Amino acid sequence: MFAEIGQFALILSLLVAATQAVLPMVGAVRGDAALMAFGRQAAQLQAALIATAFAMLAICFGQADFSVALVANHAALDQPLAYRLAATWGNHEGSMLLWVLILALYGMGIARFGDNLRPSLQARVLSIQAMISVAFLAFSIFTSNPFARLDPAPADGAELNPLLQDPGLVFHPPLLYLGYVGFSVAFSFAVAALLEGRADAAWARWVRPWVLAAWVPLTCGITLGSFWAYYELGWGGWWFWDPVENASLMPWLLGTALLHSAIVTEKRGSLAGWTILLAILAFSLSLIGTFLVRSGILTSVHAFAVDPARGVFILAMIVGSTGSALALFALRAPQLRSGAMFGTVSREAGLTLNNLLLMAVTSVVFFGTFYPVVMEAVNEKISVGPPYYNLVFVPLATPLLLLVTVGPLLAWKRDSLGVVAAKLRWPVLLAVGVAVAFTVAIGVANVAAALGLALGFWLILGGCMTLVRRWTGTGAFSWRLVRTTPVAVIGMALAHAGLGVTTAGVTAMSHFAESKILVMRPGETTTLGPMQATLLRVRELQGPNYQALAADIRIREGSRVTDLVSERRFYPVSRNQTTEAGIGSTLLGNSYVAIGDTSDGPRGQGLVVRLYRHPLVGWIWFGGLMMALGGAASLADRRFRIGAPMPRAMALPPRAVAAE
């Protein structure tokens, strides 16, 4: 019953989306207010129908309705209810339903909170959003039906992948999808602007909060995914340049460029073409990430689908959406005026260089991700890993990070090198002093690490300087200036400082992490640097749907003593094993232990134990959280909730003028 209701709601939503894709666009061309208003109503109806379908699927999982094939393949009776419900999107079909739900919710947001948009622009945006919905709803219904029935229904089901039976599954995929799908709004605004021939300051003001609404959860999703892999996989790493990890990083990088480009378009009316192009490419990379996971070309814990037909369908969507948008960009972008002119030394120039470097870094990641895939297609196996990224990514990322602190100090329109040098005098001296101090403390052999830590300090200092310079603008500290500081400025400072915290954590992990693998028996002690580890005992545990071998390990480092527990879990239904690491955290780093299988040796049976010391590793994720909070603070700025500046029309071609 619930499955049939969900199936009917999904089919009905496809029909509504198809209507929404056509009528508002016709209304915008004809100037028909009724047809344009229909788009707002259709977007809300579509969201309600897809939400109904998703709720029905969740009920099927909650009730363990094994007559639904998806439930039978990804849920079991002894599986905890929280993970049975999270399994709603812990599979290909359910995750695609979550995708279209989030897409519809963004469309509903445009309809409900777009009162200050031009009616014709809002209608076009909703129409383009609906076109994307039509493609994904058709994909879900015709190739990935989540409500397919089984007859006869099994008495029990095959459980969810044990690696996914974790709180990370509850939050990580929805956050990533909020980011991926959120860039569809920027894409729709970009295409609508090209159709109208207008991309002015008001348009950028409308776009920027939607970009932030995508960038913030994507930042959270990437950060949480990194932490999830760190504690769940038992490998002691926070990033491995896995193709699916890269799939989330690429739209994040271009989304960051898009945010900065939209600022220039809003403040100065410049870089409108850049902003439109970045909006198209950011969403295109989100679709490419979906293709990587769903096409079957990758074998990964992230990859849900292995049906090539699905990959072809998604590839067709990428070619259709990206190709048509880029063709429209090539046709209409030259007709958009560049806006106010700016000097070689100016904030506009700095943000343009920022965009170029971010695109270069994204290209490096794109090449490293897809080159092995292309080579495998011609029967040549090749892997691209950390050595490639260390060689190519780091040299491009370093000047980009240096620029982060310099950019906010530049004046709009025109600045001089002398003035900029005066502003940077003390920050540069402090950063150089920190670099020298770190080099002395850790040795000349680790000068690269010292420079990386100094770079992190430079970014944190830059974030602080943004606020200090604003609060002392009259020559002395002023509480009035503190109270009147826009929330978006505080958010920018927090995000830039968070990037510095992450940079320091990545540097420390890359240069100073230590590890040791050995066989231990109860009562034995080993050392790793200043850390002393003692295996206290080994015991068996019974979980709700697994059996576990648990090891109690005492970590002693100086006067600090921490008792950690690591488990090796076995899931009888799926016959899979997972490792649960024991982690002791402090401000300066983590102690990390993970056990493996038992091993026979000359002194009898022992347990394989992996020990790690991870300095400043928590800074990586804390910095990511700071960046997300900075983005959220910027999104809360009241300037995004009041009327945008009066639009200044860009040069319209005669056809567009006539249409208006």
Note the pLDDT tens digit of each residue in 293-307: 776 565 544 444 456
* Statement to judge: residues 201 and 303 lie in one domain: yes
Residue 656 belongs to a domain: no
Closest CA to 273 of 331, 326, 338: 338
* Statement to judge: residues 152 and 47 lie in one domain: yes
Q: Three-state secondary structure along 162-211?
A: HHHCCHHHHHHHHHHHHHHHHHHHHHHHHHHHHHHCCCCHHHHHHHHHHH
* Statement to judge: residues 261 and 398 lie in one domain: yes
Closest CA to 244 of 178, 167, 305, 166: 305
C-alpha distances in Å from residue 248, one per residue of 221, 244, 278, 478, 515: 9, 7, 16, 42, 28
* Regions in the chain scoring below 50 on pLDDT: 300-305, 643-660
At which of 363, 392, 411 does a domain end?
A: 411
pLDDT at 398: 95
Residue 642 belongs to a domain: no
Residue 657 belongs to a domain: no
| Entry pTM | 0.92
**557 - beta bridge partners?**
560
SS3 568: strand
For residues 405 and 454, give the distance between their C-alpha atoms in angstroms, rounded to a whole number: 13
At which of 471, 488, 512 does a domain end?
A: 512
* Statement to judge: residues 336 and 416 lie in one domain: no
As for how many domains the chain has, the answer is: 4
For residues 99 and 89, give the distance between their C-alpha atoms in angstroms, rounded to a whole number: 9
pLDDT at 598: 83
Residue 639 belongs to a domain: no
* Statement to judge: residues 75 and 216 lie in one domain: no
* Statement to judge: residues 27 and 153 lie in one domain: yes
Given a contact cutoff of 8 angstroms between Cβ atoms, the answer to whether 556 and 545 are in contact is no
pLDDT at 659: 35
Q: Three-state secondary structure along 416-469?
A: CHHHHHHHHHHHHHHHHHHHHHHHHHHCHHHHHHHHHHHHHHHHHHHHHHHHHH
For residues 285 and 187, give the distance between their C-alpha atoms in angstroms, rounded to a whole number: 11
* Statement to judge: residues 337 and 217 lie in one domain: yes
What are the start-end ranges of the H helices in 479-593? 479-483, 487-512
At which of 472, 497, 512 does a domain end?
A: 512
Given a contact cutoff of 8 angstroms between Cβ atoms, the answer to whether 102 and 181 are in contact is yes
Closest CA to 630 of 462, 452, 383: 462
* Statement to judge: residues 428 and 478 lie in one domain: yes
* Statement to judge: residues 269 and 392 lie in one domain: yes
* Statement to judge: residues 72 and 124 lie in one domain: yes
Given a contact cutoff of 8 angstroms between Cβ atoms, the answer to whether 582 and 555 are in contact is no
pLDDT at 297: 63
* Statement to judge: residues 376 and 244 lie in one domain: yes
Structural domain for 40, as ranges: 1-160
174 is written with which tokens? 């929805």
Residue 130 belongs to a domain: yes
- At residue 562, what are phi and psi to the nearest 5 degrees? -130, 130
For residues 69 and 146, give the distance between their C-alpha atoms in angstroms, rounded to a whole number: 8
pLDDT at 336: 75
pLDDT at 386: 87
pLDDT at 601: 60
* 594 sits in which H/E element: strand 589-601
